[in-house]
Structure 1
Amino acid sequence: MYCHSEYMATVKDERLQIRVDPQRKQLLERAADATHQNLSAFVLQAAAQHAEEVLAERTVIQLSPQAARAFTDALAQPAMVNERLAAALDRPRGFRWVD
């Protein structure tokens, strides 16, 4: 007998297999335990989140020829630093840039 419910988990037919050294596996297991997830759920969530970030950084932006020209022209012009911007850049910051 088949019963469908909106609360049933999605059927997962695909399989992903990876090899990992013992230290890295232990690290992943500890992190999974800390988040109250099983190892598979933790790894899948972390990998999917990172995949979304990577793809978001590589989104293609298409511009019309006129917009592309305007964008290129704006990049080619030297930046103008006015007094207000210069003062803001000289103020001490409560943060640091992370590379």
Structure 2
Amino acid sequence: MATIKDDRLQIRVDPQRKRLLERAADAAHLNLSAFVLQAASQHAEQVLAQRPIIDLAPEAARAFDDALAHPAQVNERLASALGRPRRFRWVD
């Protein structure tokens, strides 16, 4: 099934870089548009794969945003707990 391509992407490039892209596209047996689109798409996927994604329901997203905007304050009870000796130890 063919994909309908209605959107257009235009870029300006210096002649030296265009020749480089044309040579690479020719070596890959692709036209210039297909080569540039393929290379840009691969790079976009790599960039996005390096970013953590958190998918939250709208209510959870609002709660998360609120927690970031208004961080909790350390109260006396928490400060006291943090000051007590631990009854456990981490095992690595």
CA distance in 1, matches of 2:6, 2:43: 22
For the pair shown, which has the larger CA radius of gyration, 1 or 2? 2
Identity, % of aligned positions: 77
Structure 1: gaps of 5 or more residues? 1-5, 63-79, 81-99
1:49 is matched with: 42
Within 5 A, what are the aligned runs for 1:1-99? 6=1, 9-60=2-53
Cα deviation for residue 37 of structure 1 reads 0.2
Q: Which amino acid aligns with 2:29?
A: H
1:75 is matched with: none
Q: Which amino acid aligns with 1:32?
A: A
What RMSD over aligned residues (CA atoms) do the two structures have, in Å? Answer: 2.1
Cα deviation for residue 61 of structure 1 reads 5.3
Q: Extract structure 1 runs of 4+ deviating beyond 3 A.
A: none
Q: Which amino acid aligns with 2:51?
A: R
Cα deviation for residue 53 of structure 1 reads 0.2
Cα deviation for residue 18 of structure 1 reads 0.2
1:91 is matched with: none
TM-score (norm 2): 0.57
Cα deviation for residue 60 of structure 1 reads 2.8
